[in-house]
Each structure stands twice: as structure tokens, then as C-alpha cells.
Amino acid sequence: MTTPNDGNTNPNGAGDTGGSSPYGGFEPYPDNPAGSHPENAGSSAWPGSEQSSYGQNAYGQNGYDQHSFDQFDVNAAAGAAGATALRYHGQQLVDGTYGDGTTPHPINDPANNGFTHTKGTGKLRVMEALSWAFKTTFGNWQTWLLFGLLAAVFMAASTFEPTGLLGLLSIFIYPLVWSAGLQQTLSRKFSLSEVKAPTYGKTLGMSVVIGLFVTAVLFVLALIFGIGIFSSIDPSTMPTDPAMIEDDPMAFGPLFGRIAGLVGVLMLVSLLVAPFFATQTLYAADNAGSFGEAMKAGFAAGKRNYLPLLGLSILSGLLIGFGTVLAFVGLIVTSPVVILAMAHAYRQISGGPVPSESAPQTY
């Protein structure tokens, strides 16, 4: 395994003293990788140690490749120079094991990141995710209210654009949106100019596959329920003369009632299955394994956190609905809150770095 941004070498040869030191004039870091970060103290974080830096569970368990999970040395040169954990975005930050709520994640570096990062427990605490999302939206308002404004304009334009092309375009934007949410969980200091999606293709592919699968399921259910619902209607009783409809608008009442019932059933089914499809795209955006591993992990997360994810889905829908009702203006706040809440929820569920408040910082 390699250490990203390893500061123990001097590639430019600066400070070379004629080969007297393998570190090119720099002193090696101490054996204890916690170094100046005692909060990360514990089992060794170096490859080859008997115990994983994540606790009792060794790398390679739970379907994760032992050699695909990088170690993170917060004392490396980049960290010493003030670089934040944003440099780790796109690297695998989960290993299939979970913390106890206090276990520091290897990227934990409050001085540079502005957050304390603990390892997710695998269980979702909905209010913690929403609380962090609201605080971060207003704490980093320069970034997220601008994002919200762009989202509100885009959603309003999509609603009134007759061809549906803007709605289709959103599919290609979402990988960047989810990456932005995940990046914000890594560092308090973050701007839209820093957005990057190292796994754009995998994230886009996951979104398309999930969307097609859910659409196919709903289509089949619509056929099944539709046949049952409309088979009881006698077509001969339906008015065919427009004048009759004008005289008696309720003539189509039975038909409209059945259509409304079918729509209600489909919406209920969509809501009930949502937890099983809520996190696959985030696993892909976080590069948490292969495409298949991300898909499998998302289903497992949905099963393990069904009720909390269902609750978060309902609350997120209410927030977006509330923002839309207010002439889309409310989306300036509610859309970034939903994105950030989902990103924080994913960190909790996946066993990744969960951000929480540390010492007060300024943006």
C-alpha cells in the first residue's frame, strides 16, 4: 500500500547532502504515525502491522481488496504544509468495517480540515446528518447558496421547458453534484471551483442503471395494477360527446379516481423501495470499490438502515417540495441541504470519515 502525498522523499533533490541520508536532508517521521496528531494514536497505521488502523478488523474483509485501500498519513509533507483532506477525494476511504462513534478515521486532521473525522458506525442518525447539512449550508454560504441558486434556476427552467431536454441533462450533472457533497464532508474549506469527479463515468453509469431498473419495476407494477383497476370500468358508460363532458364534468369521475389511485400506488411503492437505492450512486462517487461492489454495498446499506433512510427520503422530499412551492426560491436553501445531508448520511453508513465540529474555524 502506498501513502498518498508521502513527505518522506525529496523528488527534486533539494537539501541533498551527498547521499548521507535516504530522506534527502529531511528527518524521517517517528515510528508512531499519530505524530503531532495524538487523537489518531492507537494501533499502527503502517502497512504490515498486526492490527488495522481501523480497529480489530483487518483489511480485505467484507469483500474489500486488501491492496485497494490506501493508508493516509496526515503528517506527510502536504499535511504539514496545510493541505486538507480534499486531496484524498477519489481514493477509497472505506474498508467495509465500522467505528464505534469515537474511532478517528485515518484522515482525521482537525487543524487542516476544520472538522474532526470519526469512522462511521454503519448506522444512520438522520438528525445528525440534517443538522450538519443546515450548519454547513449557512457556514459555507458563499459556496452552497450559490449552488442552491443554480439548482433553483435549473429546476425552474426544466419544469417549464417543453422538450424535457433539460431534465435529461441533469443526469450528466448529478455525478458532479454528489462529488461536491462528498468533498464538503472532507474539509470545511471548499468552493465550487474545487469540484472534481474522479469516478464520473462509474457514477453516471450507476445513476443510469438504478434509474432504468426502478423505471422498469414501476412500469411492470403500473401494468399489473392498471389492468386490475381499469378492468372494472365499462367503456360504454364513458361520455363520448364533448358537450356531455361540459354539462357534466364529473362524468369522468370514476376514470379520474382510478388514475389517481394508480398514481398513488406507484408513488407509495417508489417511496418504500427508495432506501434500497439511496446510496449506490454515492458509493460510486466515493470510489468505494468496483461497480458491482458499490451496487452490493448500497443494497446492504438500505437493508441495514431501512427505516432511517426511509425517514431521510421523506424529509428530503418535503424540503424539496417546500422549496418548489415557494416559487422555487426556497430551493436556494433546501437543495444544498438535501445534498449535504445525503453525503453526511453516506459517510455514517459506509464507515467513511464522518465530519463533526471541532475548534471554531473561519472560511
Q: DSSP string covering 186-243, please?
A: H-S---GGG---TTHHHHHHHHHHHHHHHHHHHHHHHHHHHHHHHTT--GGGS---HH
pLDDT at 343: 98
Is 102 domain-assigned?
Answer: no
Percentage, residues of the chain above pLDDT 70:
69
Is 321 domain-assigned?
Answer: yes
Q: Would the pLDDT of 30 be above 50?
A: no
- Average the pLDDT over each of 34-43, 147-156, 184-193, 225-234 and give the range with the smallest value: 34-43
Number of domains in the chain: 1
- Once rounded to an integer, what is the mean pLDDT over residues 20-37? 42
The HSE-up count of residue 302 (CA atoms within 13 Å, CB side) is 21
pLDDT at 27: 45
- Average the pLDDT over each of 1-10, 202-211, 301-310, 318-327 and give the range with the smallest value: 1-10
CA distance 109 to 163: 48
CA distance 342 to 144: 15
Q: Rg (Cα) of the chain, in Å, rounded? A: 25
Q: Which residues of 213-237 are buried (b: 16+ CB within 10 A; e: fewer)?
A: ebeeebeeebeebeeebeeeeeeee
CA distance 106 to 80: 15
pLDDT at 129: 98
Three cell numbers at 112?
487542516
Is 103 domain-assigned?
Answer: no
Is 97 domain-assigned?
Answer: no
Is 139 domain-assigned?
Answer: yes
pTM confidence score: 0.76
Is 206 domain-assigned?
Answer: yes
CA distance 40 to 358: 15
Q: Would the pLDDT of 22 be above 80?
A: no
pLDDT at 251: 61
- Once rounded to an integer, what is the mean pLDDT over residues 259-285? 93
**What DSSP character marks residue 108?**
-
CA distance 12 to 327: 57
CA distance 228 to 300: 33
Q: Which domain holds residue 226?
A: 126-234+258-357
131 SS3 class: helix
Strand spans (E) along the chain: 115-119, 353-357
Is 363 domain-assigned?
Answer: no
Q: Would the pLDDT of 115 be above 50?
A: yes
- Once rounded to an integer, what is the mean pLDDT over residues 311-338? 92
Is 17 domain-assigned?
Answer: no
